[in-house]
Amino acid sequence: MPAVIEVRNLHKSYGDTVAVDDVSFAVEEGEIFGILGPNGAGKTTTVECIEGLRAADRGEISVLGLDPRRDRAELTQRLGVQLQDSQLPDQLRVAEALKLYSSFYREPADWLALMNDLGLAEKSKTRFAKLSGGQKQRVSIALALVGSPRVAVLDELTTGLDPQARRDTWELIDGVRSRGVTIVLVTHFMEEAERLCDRVALIDAGRVVAVDSPAGLAEQVQSEQRIQFRPSVPMDDSLLTSLPDVTSVIHRGDVVVVTGNNNALNAVTSVLARNQIVARQLRVEQASLEDAFVALTGRHGAAHQAAGQS
């Protein structure tokens, strides 16, 4: 199956500032593809080139077989877009906005059904300025979908939302995918990428550092697990150190910390069971996308700052 979006060696600079240095990736039909990176990594510029809002300096982009600049008129019919920091007129009501935007498209979706699906029915007569942040984002998603697009680009969807609104929005995106819409999701928020994305392109300083599933990225940087527990009876370390999957065993007070490869948990629990030792407060730590991010970009501060502000 041909890729829905293909980006090859994209380069874009503004004056002396290189925003996107060399970005390549392909988005497959039906997936949620994440573009993840710290602020200023070039994520938004990359998707603005995909949307045809900006002309690339170099490189090729194909969206549904179309050139975003040359075939703009056709692209706007088929690509749904949600922009970062874009608003509607303050006095425009939710239903009016959807009705208006649906009149732009050749084959619009039923805006009324869409409004109900996105949980906006009660707000249909509310003016845009009076909506909460989460509701505004839902309207924004509805407008991105009202043209029945096959692909939707969503930029910094949950930035500025409270945790509950963010989780609600994530559920929505899952729902959108189940309609068969391919989604490109721009985010600097690890948990969001981990929760939603099938695959992630990690972008840093205008370059793609890695493309993989969130779990795959995590595995790339750390193939070990750390297992912590409080044994019900004192135990001999040699029970564990003799296991081939275990690399080290240390004690912290009465807590035992075991490190080993991906099979270590299996091996440790079966040894404990055989010796009738109960592992209390068992915790297993695996590398997360955030660890991968830090390891691959070497930017601990940026990642935390990003997560903290969103």
Partner 1 sequence: MSAVTEMPVPIPPAAARHGSALGRLTLTELKLMGRERSRFFVRLAVPLVLLVIFGAIPFYTQKRASLDGYTLLDAYVPILIAYALAMLALTSLPMVLAGYREQGVLRRLQTTPAGPVRVLVAQFVAYAAVIALMVLLILAVARVGYGVVFPRQVAGFIVAAVLGAVAVLSIGLLIAAASPSAQTAQSIGMILLFPMMFFAGLFFPIPVMPSFLRHLSHATPLGATVQALQDAWLGHWPHPLQLITMAAWAVGCAVAAALLFRWE
Nearer to partner 1 by Cβ, of 145 and 218: the residue is 145
What is the rounded distance in angstroms from the CA atom of residue 15 to the CA atom of residue 48?
A: 17
Q: How far is the CB of 59 from partner 1 (least distance, A)?
A: 20
Determine the 3-state secondary structure of 129 from DSSP: helix
Q: How far is the CB of 69 from partner 1 (least distance, A)?
A: 12
- Which amino acid makes up residue 266? N
Q: How far is the CB of 105 from partner 1 (least distance, A)?
A: 6
Asked if 149 contacts 181 with a C-beta cutoff of 8 angstroms, the reply is yes
Nearer to partner 1 by Cβ, of 130 and 280: the residue is 130
Closest CA to 184 of 3, 2, 5: 5
Q: How far is the CB of 85 from partner 1 (least distance, A)?
A: 6
- Which amino acid makes up residue 1? M
Task: Answer positive or negative: Cα dihedral of 62, 63, 67, 69.
Answer: negative
Nearer to partner 1 by Cβ, of 118 and 193: the residue is 118
Nearer to partner 1 by Cβ, of 87 and 232: the residue is 87
Q: Is 73 exposed, middle or buried (0-12, 13-18, 19+ CB in 10 A)?
A: exposed
Asked if 152 contacts 184 with a C-beta cutoff of 8 angstroms, the reply is yes
Q: How far is the CB of 67 from partner 1 (least distance, A)?
A: 16
What is the rounded distance in angstroms from the CA atom of residue 156 to the CA atom of residue 122?
A: 25
Asked if 278 contacts 13 with a C-beta cutoff of 8 angstroms, the reply is no
Nearer to partner 1 by Cβ, of 30 and 216: the residue is 30
What is the rounded distance in angstroms from the CA atom of residue 143 to the CA atom of residue 277?
A: 58
Q: How far is the CB of 179 from partner 1 (least distance, A)?
A: 5
Q: How far is the CB of 152 from partner 1 (least distance, A)?
A: 11
Which residues form the interface with partner 1 (CB under 8 A)? 51-53, 73, 76-77, 79, 81, 83, 85-89, 91-92, 96, 99-111, 113-114, 116-119, 127, 143, 145, 147-148, 168, 171-172, 174-176, 178-181
Determine the 3-state secondary structure of 164 from DSSP: helix
Nearer to partner 1 by Cβ, of 103 and 275: the residue is 103
* Other residues' Cβ atoms within 10 Å of the Cβ of residue 220: 14
Closest CA to 5 of 65, 55, 46, 52: 65
Nearer to partner 1 by Cβ, of 90 and 236: the residue is 90
